[in-house]
Chains A and B, each alone.
Chain A
Amino acid sequence: MRIVLALIAALWASMASAQTLQDLLQADPEAISDPSRRTVGEVLDRLVASGLPEVPTFLERWQAKEVVQRQSDGLFFYGTKEGGGHVLFDVSSGEEVGHSGPREVDELRPNAGVRGVIGSALIQFQLSDPDIARRQAALDAIAKDPAPEQLEPLRASLEGEDDPGVLARKERLENLLAARFEADPEARIAAIEALGSDITVEARAVLNQILSSEPRAADAIPAEANVAWKLTPGSDELPREAAYVMLVEAGLAPPRVTENAIRDALVAALAGGKVGDAPVATLGSDEARHAAYDAIAPARGLPPRISEEEVDAALGSHAFWQDYAEKDAAITGAAERALASAVTRVSLYQAADIALDAISLASIYFLAAIGLAITFGVMGVINMAHGEFIMMGAYTGYVVQTLVPDYTLSLILALPLAFAVTFAAGVAMERLVIRHLAHRPLETLLATFGISIALQQIAKNIFGTQARPLTSPSWLDGAWIVNDVLGIAYIRIAIFVLALLFLGLLLFILNRTRLGLEVRAVTQNPGMAASMGIDPDRIAMLTFGLGSGIAGIAGVAIGLYAKVTSEMGSDYIVQSFMTVVVGGVGNVWGTLAGASLIGILQKGIEWFNPSNTLAAQTYMILFIIAFIQFRPRGIVAMKGRAAGA
């Protein structure tokens, strides 16, 4: 094959030896400067057929948006930007030929579709190129737009491939192409069967392409049809109206007369304030119009109305089925079996993927809510400004990142700093406000709301309303991908790990340290704890600081995966409340249970109703309200005396 190509090329070259690449390009400059995916093929064929050795380079640089056109004479050059203008290089020799001033050349920017077509044209040059990157580019082009004529060159290039990774990819693509385009049915079925357990999108795409089908209607199913499955008119898959429309389109039934057509016909028949015998004023109802239409239809040659019974009769006397485009039942059968085995595995992986998303969401809710839960448990107060502490943490991260350009270092700095800032803010708030409102939880709620709106507006005044970037370090970019279905972003894994860390840390502090003992004592009975020598004020202050500090860390985490705005806190605050209330107050495990329940629930509802995220949130809140009816103290309720506190 290659030899043939080379021969043709050599022949062309000798015939058109006088032609330079520039001449070829100038033959139809429009096609180069303003190409379209649909028309660029022609000029590419011409360029490739010329056999000029510089053509592949030109195509590559054209694809990379490096070609410019001089406005004065329309000549093409390779151009690199310099100052206001460009340095120009000849397209054949690659030598520098001069400079251009500003706006003297047009940069050519072929769109992604054209670039794809150029990529396909380059395949034949690149499949056996010594540069591995070029070979991979060629394989990408094949994967993106598989075509029958690629099969031969691909098979030919298998032989000389020395890189095992690229070879495996080539063999895979060869199998995919064979499954779709192989002429010999036996070989094709074998290729299809080899795809049986493959759950990649590429493989399923091939199988689905083989299995593409469309609905058909006829008097009876013809013998040569390859039936995918039969359709029943009136089912969800094929509603009654749609089925009748199919019959009309196939010329098997007369079209129904629409209400608009009836109205138009009546208007056309209007004469002397009457339609037929009916005065116009009586035609204000559908029945009257139908009667009037039936009266005038025969005389005026109008089609008769089709009754519902006639529709039913027509539907009953015809067959409807889904028809495979591929006529060979052996091939579609093999593809069906292969796809079925893939689909089962895919849905398992999908469930696992949703589960991962749910865990990720739960860990975010956990981080956002745990600080709230601790303060609620120890002091019985709801801190409405908790969301703003999350925001403060995120802005701390942003400020650190503007000062320290290295993303990894800035993240390492930002986490403790965010903790410190929000810890201090929490302690200050506790000392200045909350302490003076002891035992008045509702007033505390409102006072902290006042602080919340003030903090939010201050953040707006300082940082503006525009969202600020908080970029994760490059080692957190990308995702952990098991296969084409199952995968999760590294940043979400990091947040999950962070949540686990804090879970462990809190459990350790609460169960294994003196502070934890005192906190638990104050949670259960402040009066008794005080008489045992514990200073409840100090404990309250420290827990408040701790809770706020964790909110700050949560802010950095949320900012990394979503956004940093002055309103980000309010996005999480109600969900955090819900988490705490559902989970049960003052208990780390309770918060964990609450966060898991809400995260899993939200993802579960989204799965059943994927096109409406908003509805998922609505249902979730309704569920929580209902849930509280049955467990007013949450999943993990405190027992004994503490329950009354």
Chain B
Amino acid sequence: MTIKTSLSVAALAAALGASAATAQQACPIKVGVLHSLSGTMAISETTLKDTMLMLIDQQNKKGGLLGCQIEPVVVDPASDWPLFAEKARELLTVDHVDVIFGAWTSVSRKSVLPVLEELDGLMFYPVQYEGEESSRNVFYTGAAPNQQAIPAVDYYLDELGIKKFALLGTDYVYPRTTNNILTAYLESKGIPESDIFVNYTPFGQSDWATIVSDVKALAADGEPVGVISTINGDANIGFYKELAAQGISADDMPVVAFSVGEEELSGLDTSNLVGHLAAWNYFMSADTPENEAFIQAWHDYIGDDARVTNDPMEAHYIGFNMWVNAVTQAGTTDVDAVIDAMVGQTFPNLTGGTAEMLPNHHLTKPVLIGEIRDDGQFDIISQTDPVAGDAWTDFLPESAVLESDWSKLHCGMYNTQTQTCVQLTSNY
């Protein structure tokens, strides 16, 4: 309904301002898809490429955008971080795409950032990340730490009465930063540093026996222990297998994971993991008509009813639709106009409620906590009201004074104490 009206408004505007808009708008509109199709990250990112192709296909069937068809330009950065920058430059300067949807790992995003800022490109980043960043040229449709990690810890503290924490993560920036934020947050909640056990393991770690034993030993203090896992990718398989083997049930010692979703669980037998937790902004089991339609469309497109949907897919779904609406509203795909039109865009979530794009280029999203079921899906046991994404965390002293606002302050890193803009372009 809203799409329809805004479409007709746009058509009217285009008709009135005819020459200007049509002269600038070259058909077809090109959308770059920058997801790894080979290498270690292909496991997660290929699905997102397919999601984008599906969304573009749907939009073209609805009549395209500004009277143009949308043409996807898919490239493969092959899980090679420098290659992300190279491919982004190619997309912007050779293919002249109007927008890029892409990247998964933080390091790949950081690789693309300087190119986007230099060439004034536009990118939608769909994955939950560690925050501490706000670029004018990027819209972050995944969760910031306060939209995933902090609510999950609150759930531990309030609902499960956990007093002792084991933060296990893969050794890279997302777990490191998230754990730093969580440590600061827990200390502000009165948990002493000695009750927070932190461990980092390499990518693809497979020998978990000792670490799981160490975590088990934490319970000897008599305080309830909770595990917060930022373990990434296929290392999770060995980790959960070891948990099951050592008989750690969710009642004894719950594990909440921030990087384990439906897709990751599909490589596992979950019967021994029932009750362990994950925190996301979306679960496939969400019972809404929008979600049912989305899953149906996905299954039809991919031709396999066994395929699951996950949180980053929803992020692309929201991001793409917001972009379509912003372009329609601006009447052009010009990056500056679209960036202005993006802020304040709203679009219904798949889990109910409405997502809104904030001036700091993050979304408002509800936070869901799910318990693993034996069929590899999640029971949603807690759903918060929509939480506004916070680019700079409030729990680290040097970030607490920072603010990001691209519509009024025109600055992604504004120091509220000294009232100066620390920097306009990111320092990556």
Contact = CB atoms under 8 A, between A and B. Distances in A.
**A and B touch in their complex, CB below 8 angstroms:** yes
A137 to B, nearest CB: 11
B241 A611 contact: no
Interface stretch (B98-106, B217-225, B296-304): B217-225
B222 A208 contact: yes
B199 A613 contact: yes
Given A112-B250, A469-B267, A478-B247, A360 B209 contact: yes
A561 interface: yes
Nearest to A468: B267
Contacts of B213: 353, 357, 485, 487
A565 B234 contact: yes
Interface stretch (B11-19, B110-118, B124-132, B268-276): B268-276
A361 interface: yes
Contact of B269 (A466, A471, A489): A471
Contacts of A109: 371, 379-381
Contacts of B272: 477
Given A103-B287, A478-B245, A562-B241, 16 more contacts: A37-B158, A37-B160, A109-B379, A111-B369, A111-B371, A112-B251, A208-B222, A460-B38, A466-B266, A469-B267, A469-B268, A477-B245, A563-B267, A603-B210, A611-B200, A617-B202
A65 interface: yes
A114 interface: yes
Contact of B371 (A112, A209, A479): A112
Nearest to A106: B287
Interface stretch (A198-206, A409-417, A425-433, A586-594): A198-206
Interface string A609-642: 0111110010000000000000000000000000
A289 interface: no
Given A113-B159, A208-B221, A611 B198 contact: yes
B422 to A, nearest CB: 16
A489 B242 contact: yes
A613 B245 contact: no
Interface string A571-608: 10000000000000000000000000000000100110
Interface string B199-215: 11110111101110110
| The 9 A-B residue pairs with the shortest CB-CB distance in the complex, in nearest-first order | A205-B222, A489-B245, A562-B206, A113-B159, A563-B237, A467-B267, A209-B222, A465-B43, A562-B238
Contacts of B210: 354, 357, 603, 606-607, 610
B416 interface: no
Nearest to A489: B245
A178 interface: no
B59 interface: no
A207 B305 CA distance: 54
Interface string A11-39: 00000000000000000000000001110
A37 B267 contact: no
A204 B381 CA distance: 33
A37 B159 contact: yes
Greatest chain A CB density within 10 A among B209, B216, B242, B272 is at B209
A479 B234 contact: no
A206 B221 CA distance: 8
Contact of B161 (A65, A113, A487, A607): A113
Contacts of A469: 267-269
Contacts of A465: 38, 40, 42-43, 46
A358 to B, nearest CB: 9
B200 A613 contact: yes
A467 B269 contact: no
A471 B245 CA distance: 12
A613 B201 CA distance: 5
24 contacts: A37-B158, A111-B371, A112-B159, A112-B371, A114-B159, A144-B251, A208-B220, A208-B221, A350-B217, A465-B40, A465-B46, A466-B43, A467-B267, A479-B245, A484-B216, A485-B213, A489-B209, A562-B206, A562-B207, A610-B199, A610-B210, A613-B199, A613-B202, A614-B171
Interface string A208-238: 1100000000000000000000000000000
B219 A201 contact: yes
B244 interface: yes
Interface string A552-577: 00000010011101011001000000
B241 A205 contact: no
B100 to A, nearest CB: 22
B8 interface: no
A455 B200 CA distance: 31
Interface residues on A, range: 35 or more
Interface in B253-304: 254, 263, 266-269, 272, 275, 287
Contacts of A484: 216
B58 interface: no
B155 interface: yes
B159 A563 contact: no
B206 A563 contact: yes
B246 interface: yes
B157 to A, nearest CB: 10
Contacts, number: 155
Interface string A459-493: 01000111111010000011101001101111110
B385 to A, nearest CB: 12
Contacts of A103: 287
Nearest to A485: B217
Contacts of B251: 112, 116, 140, 144
Nearest to B276: A112
Nearest to B254: A112
B197 interface: yes
A518 B245 CA distance: 44
Nearest to B219: A201
A607 B210 CA distance: 8
A51 to B, nearest CB: 29
Interface in A294-311: none
Nearest to B250: A112
A492 B205 CA distance: 16
Contact of B244 (A360, A477, A568): A477
B158 A36 contact: yes
Given A204-B220, A614-B202, A488 B287 contact: no
B382 interface: yes
A611 B197 contact: yes
B209 A113 contact: no
Nearest to B288: A103
A13 B216 CA distance: 46
A361 B238 CA distance: 14
Contacts of A613: 199-202, 205, 211
Nearest to B269: A471
A206 B245 contact: no
B2 to A, nearest CB: 23
Contacts of A567: 40, 204
A132 B342 CA distance: 61
Contact of A563 (B209, B217, B238): B238
Interface in B359-376: 369, 371
Nearest to B201: A613
A111 B382 contact: yes
A140 B249 CA distance: 13
Nearest to A487: B246
A473 B246 CA distance: 16
B366 to A, nearest CB: 14
A491 B222 CA distance: 30
Contacts of B43: 464-467
Nearest to A407: B269
A491 B202 CA distance: 23
Interface string B395-420: 00000000000000000000000000
Contacts of A479: 245-247
A350 B247 CA distance: 18
A467 B382 contact: no
Contacts of B199: 610-613
A513 to B, nearest CB: 35
